[in-house]
Structure 1
Amino acid sequence: MPDVEDNQELEQSKLSSLRDHFDAELTESWADSVLIVSSFITGLLDSAVFNVWSCFVSMQTGNTLYLGLGVSGQPKSSPWRWAKSGMSIISFVVGAFIFSRFMRWLGPLRRSTMVYSWLIQAVLIYICAALEDTGVVPNDAGDNLPNSFIVLLPLSLLSIQSAGQMAMSRILGYGEVTSVVLTSAYFDLVFDNEVFTAAPTRNVKRNRRIGSMVMVVLGAIAGGFLTQDEDISKVLWFAGSLKVAIAILWVFWKSKGSVRLE
């Protein structure tokens, strides 16, 4: 009997340690590197989605312009583009609302919250990939409006997950690396008095902005090459897998306390 009790105590101790591990708050130190890497996903998805479905899921400024052009029935080659852009904008706003409340409710810097958030984003992308692979959403779905509005479904899901990714920059406190919007980053980069004079290790905000810009461009290049055949599914599976990898990374990320996973 003592052996049984010892085993039970050991199991309870392991469960308690595991629970403490996932309840621990993560340190924000070096988390900017994760946001910079996630900028690659932004470029990857936006370039692929625009190339195949003529819409953005992250760059909502472009969608806002297309929404405005739609009032006058333009662009004439795609008069229903406003519907796709409008759905993306609405979904992005809804996603921002949901993810921000969800993360605050669970505890924004808790390990479990970070893992859940990135896994949810990955699942949303995987759903879109499955819809594409099964033919529910054909490759030319973006050109079928107004006969079919099925393309709005993946656009909505992808925009929601994009908002979840942007929420991370706010939660982690790295406002200069939104991983989604670059217009302000371009301006802030050259607005910085020390953009050209500070040593590489003396201006981290500049470095983060440049890193984010480079990763978005690299992602856009990759998305372009991967959708040359106008098949977006492989990009979606790839992007979802990158999100899963980031979720796994948070499992082993250093916490603010001294809790160890043994």
Structure 2
Amino acid sequence: MKQDPVPSTPGSGSGALAEEKLEHQPVSDLEEPIGPSLRERFATHFSEKVETKDGYLPLLLCCFATGLTDGTVYNAYGTFVSMQTGNTIFLALGTSGQNNRPYGWARSLCSIGCFAIGCATFARLHKLIGGARLRRTVLFSFILQTACVIIAAIIIQSGTVDGHYPSNRDPRDVNFTEMAVVALLSFQAAGQIVNSRGLGVSEVPTVVITSLVCDLVSDELLFAGLTKNGKRNRRFIGFVLTLLGAIVGGWISKATGQVGPCLWFVVALKAFISLYWVGTIPLQRLRKGA
């Protein structure tokens, strides 16, 4: 006698087929795609190119820092560390025996030489790191600049170099250790102008007033509306900030009787700019790896 087949419940066949498909389906298809790791997302973030407009604020702050350092260091050590036109004249006067500071020409020569070395070094480091516009490049550049100013401030703070203002030493005495401070500050100042060129903000060279004023007043759109000439605005602001920086540096030096406080102020500015280049990664981007 033929036995009747066992009746199946509705949907049991389709359920078996579904289970069989699941068994043979690759595990990777069942899971959500895994995005880049946190490390990879940070690497991507610091490999991004910085837009030119993002360089306006930090480079204008560098103008203020230039005024602070030059206004302070010139009064203390008789040389500039950023504006090399003045140092060239001091060097020429010293060569002709007309420099009224003993070996002042040597300080000026030191500043010019270290500034030139700084320009060459920063330019090649930018190329080595991957390009002048990369976020990691400008971040590294300003970290290096900050470190140079910190070392110079520590040298003065420790008493290795006389940091009093006005100086307690006899004007006829020559302390060549002062050149260590001049060298460090001149080297880091070069990084600013290299950054301005690399980011395409050449209208704010940060260490040169002569060309800045020339470009400002010779601009055909000098009297255009406030929102119609951004380069003119930045040149004017850069000039004013450099002037204010020198004034503030003179006030601080006179009030404290020390060179160090102004340099620590510059350290704070450079550290702030470094943090600015770090930027922020939105939480959504960190979660999704977008």
The two structures have a TM-score, normalised by structure 2, of 0.80
Does residue 263 of structure 2 align to residue 236 of structure 1? yes
Instruction: Select 1:149's aligned residue among 149, 153, 176.
Output: 176
Residues 186-197 of structure 1: matches in 2 within 5 Å? 186-196=213-223
Which structure's CA Rg is the greater one? 2
Aligned length: 248
1:36: Cα distance to partner? 1.2
Residues 31-110 of structure 1: matches in 2 within 5 Å? 31-76=55-100, 78-106=101-129, 107-110=131-134
Distance 1:152 1:112, change over 3 A: same
84-93 or 140-149: which moved more?
Answer: 140-149
Instruction: Select 1:252's aligned residue among 275, 279, 285.
Output: 279
Residues 106-255 of structure 1: matches in 2 within 5 Å? 106=129, 107-139=131-163, 140=167, 147-196=174-223, 198-228=224-254, 229-252=256-279
1:260: Cα distance to partner? 4.4
- Alpha-carbon separation, structure 1, partners of 2:264 and 2:61: 17
- Alpha-carbon separation, structure 2, partners of 1:253 and 1:175: 26
Quick check: 1:44–1:220 contact (8 Å CA) kept in 2?
yes
1:230: Cα distance to partner? 4.0
Q: Which one-letter code corresponds to 1:104 in the other structure?
A: K
1:148: Cα distance to partner? 2.6
- Alpha-carbon separation, structure 2, partners of 1:71 and 1:227: 30
Does residue 48 of structure 2 align to residue 24 of structure 1? yes
- Alpha-carbon separation, structure 1, partners of 2:285 and 2:246: 38
Quick check: 2:99–2:105 contact (8 Å CA) kept in 1?
no
Distance 1:142 1:164, change over 3 A: farther
Distance 1:230 1:62, change over 3 A: farther
- Alpha-carbon separation, structure 1, partners of 2:187 and 2:226: 35
3-state SS, counterpart of residue 37 of structure 2: helix
Q: Which one-letter code corresponds to 2:232 in the other structure?
A: R
1:141: Cα distance to partner? 8.8
- Alpha-carbon separation, structure 1, partners of 2:200 and 2:69: 24
Distance 1:143 1:44, change over 3 A: farther
- Alpha-carbon separation, structure 1, partners of 2:260 and 2:285: 39
List runs of 5+ in structure 2 lacking aligned partners. 1-30
**What whole-Å deviation, never above 9, does each CA across 1:135-177 have from its counterpart, x for those lacking one?**
1111249866764300000100000000011111100111111
Q: Which one-letter code corresponds to 1:67 in the other structure?
A: L
3-state SS, counterpart of residue 49 of structure 2: coil
Q: Which one-letter code corresponds to 1:66 in the other structure?
A: F
The structure 1 segments of at least 4 consecutive aligned residues displaced by more than 3 Å after TM superposition are 140-147, 259-262
Distance 1:142 1:237, change over 3 A: farther
Q: Which one-letter code corresponds to 1:130 in the other structure?
A: I
1:81: Cα distance to partner? 0.8
Q: Which one-letter code corresponds to 2:217 in the other structure?
A: V
Distance 1:193 1:24, change over 3 A: closer
1:227: Cα distance to partner? 0.8
State the identity as a percent.
38
Higher relative contact order (CA 8 A, sep 6+): 1
- Alpha-carbon separation, structure 2, partners of 1:94 and 1:143: 32
- Alpha-carbon separation, structure 2, partners of 1:143 and 1:168: 39
- Alpha-carbon separation, structure 2, partners of 1:233 and 1:108: 31
3-state SS, counterpart of residue 59 of structure 2: helix
Distance 1:142 1:31, change over 3 A: farther
